[in-house]
Structure 1
């Protein structure tokens, strides 16, 4: 009698274990700056990834299981990012989407690589990120050498000969500044100023005075939108009318809020297409769904590129028929070709870089809107 009872209990436990296993989810991590000076980017990333997960789960999820998004805040800081990455590696995620800043991503790369977890960055364009040989690192954003070429071409097209270059010493900004500096000199332009500001300060009058003293015809700023907005506002306050061109990290609506519409007007920046200019059927349908759910359009292309990172991660898991990192990465490298992303076709080269031409030139108009330049 006891043996029968034990057998019933054993069968019950086995069935119970089966039910629990079937209820398991496929976890995809999101590392984003939910706090700090880039919080608007991180919040946008979270909204888009959560909506895409909701939509994917309505279609059955992946590998017959629901997708669970596990989010960690990197605070836009390399030190916080390493802790966030370590936490994600202990939570059973199959892949990680993020993050936004290159130096923040750089602090997490080795952690994910050692844990054999594919990482798909969305706003990290620094060249050196894909020169380290990490086989599980990818990005849906383009590289800064492509952006550097676009910056030099734009400055040449606008007929500026005397150029000042200002960066903020981060991996992204310094790398882009050096790339643009080298290309501009090859094109015969005179770089009359090359230096860095300290990010996070509230008063940039001293560096603006130095810039003005160099008498450039244009200033190329390769840092991020919070500092760009302050520079534009304080430049206007000192009545200095030299045009500014920004790198892609200045593409955020908060730039106009910080600078004010009048000070921001005329500012050029380089970027992948902003959300309203995305023209794929997938993008148009998703933007309509986003508007319906959140009552607004996505503010930033970098958040959209995080969405593409999520879609690529899900496609990699489905294509590899596995949540094992090495198999997912192998599928993304070899088999994912011209994947239909929100931002256009996505394929990766051997280094994990996105293939194809992505950059455009925008200018801020009198209403603070970002207008694509033809």
Structure 2
């Protein structure tokens, strides 16, 4: 009886190994729980749909794709554990994640295991200044975003500016970069530069402090949860000041938390929203997504995750290999102007996406995000 059980067990192991050999394992690290769960849910939907489409056409390099999702909770410590689990599963590529500090907690784990990581919503400059061969990102960097922020502030004629961040890797980096670009501009005075504590429920103290400096605009470089609350409480204080946010404020939940009245007139920077993607390929994918899930994706970061998967599969197909050394070399050196859903994609030696991506949006009276000319 024991011998039969051993033979059966051995057979299951062999079948499991055969299954593993027949698939290309792609990891998805995303915030499936926590404050950014809406981002994670759409990242998974986009990647699952793309994998389904590719598998229907026979897969890649003669194998079907298997997407394995791990929840990082939007927390660095949880991300490190999620990265270790994906590394143990011997994935070839990991897509994700959202949040620079969260991504940073996983970078060295993947690099040491020679696993390619393609981040989709992690814009902090230092992520690609470490010389990590296996790290790339489909989103642009904060220094590019800061340039657009400074240009927009000047274009809107702002003379007195307040900059507020949350001390996170992303938000502090964007705030510092923007401050640096405006430092030599005698036409713009930065009258306030400070941080709030994220995930609090009352920001009236910091709002009152900023108001005392009489800025014409507040540039908040943190995330949409806090941005919504700032807008709501500023309106309750009857403080009529223009707010602008970085790309982490780009989420419909901002309007839900602030209310349409409070969020009207809010500016933010972002890669083009899904509804504004111009290519026919993007429009076709969004139509298929809508048919499958009942609505189009709200977040561009989900689509940027999809582009990460698409370029990874392109590299695997062109090298006809899951050898991460070959795949990484192809992505850095040979992938040129790949027709991504979010536009043409190429990477430089550091793994950064090449080209201008950021746009300016404004929230209208109906709470809709309108691309600005």
* Pair 1:192–1:305, CA change in 2 (3 A): same
Give aligned pairs, total.
Answer: 361
Distance 1:85 1:113 in 2: 11
Alignment of 1:81-100 (within 5 A): 81-100=79-98
Match of 1:183 among 177, 181, 184: 181
2:18 corresponds in structure 1 to 20
* Pair 1:176–1:18, CA change in 2 (3 A): closer
Secondary structure, counterpart of 1:349 in structure 2: coil
2:265 corresponds in structure 1 to 266
Distance 1:46 1:134 in 2: 25
1:72 corresponds in structure 2 to 70
1:161 corresponds in structure 2 to 159
Unaligned runs of 5+ in 2: 1-6
**Structure 1, residues 239-262: CA drift from partner, whole Å, max 9, x if none?**
000000000000001100010000
Secondary structure, counterpart of 2:92 in structure 1: strand
2:61 corresponds in structure 1 to 63
Secondary structure, counterpart of 1:93 in structure 2: coil
Q: CA deviation at 1:24?
A: 2.1
TM-score normalised to the size of structure 1? 0.94
Secondary structure, counterpart of 2:193 in structure 1: strand
1:33 corresponds in structure 2 to 31
Distance 1:92 1:182 in 2: 42
Distance 2:261 2:221 in 1: 21
Alignment of 1:109-128 (within 5 A): 109-128=107-126
Secondary structure, counterpart of 2:183 in structure 1: helix
2:359 corresponds in structure 1 to 360
Q: Kindly indicate whether residue 312 of structure 2 is the aligned counterpart of residue 313 of structure 1.
A: yes
TM-score normalised to the size of structure 2? 0.95
Distance 1:222 1:46 in 2: 26
Distance 1:19 1:86 in 2: 20
2:243 corresponds in structure 1 to 244
Q: Kindly indicate whether residue 224 of structure 2 is the aligned counterpart of residue 225 of structure 1.
A: yes
Q: Kindly indicate whether residue 202 of structure 2 is the aligned counterpart of residue 203 of structure 1.
A: yes
**Structure 1, residues 113-156: CA drift from partner, whole Å, max 9, x if none?**
00100100000001110001001100000011010010000000
Q: Kindly indicate whether residue 95 of structure 2 is the aligned counterpart of residue 135 of structure 1.
A: no
Distance 1:37 1:167 in 2: 17
1:104 corresponds in structure 2 to 102
Distance 1:212 1:280 in 2: 43
Distance 1:110 1:71 in 2: 19
**Structure 1, residues 151-190: CA drift from partner, whole Å, max 9, x if none?**
0000000000110000000110000000000111222211
1:152 corresponds in structure 2 to 150
**Structure 1, residues 77-106: CA drift from partner, whole Å, max 9, x if none?**
000000000000001211000001000000
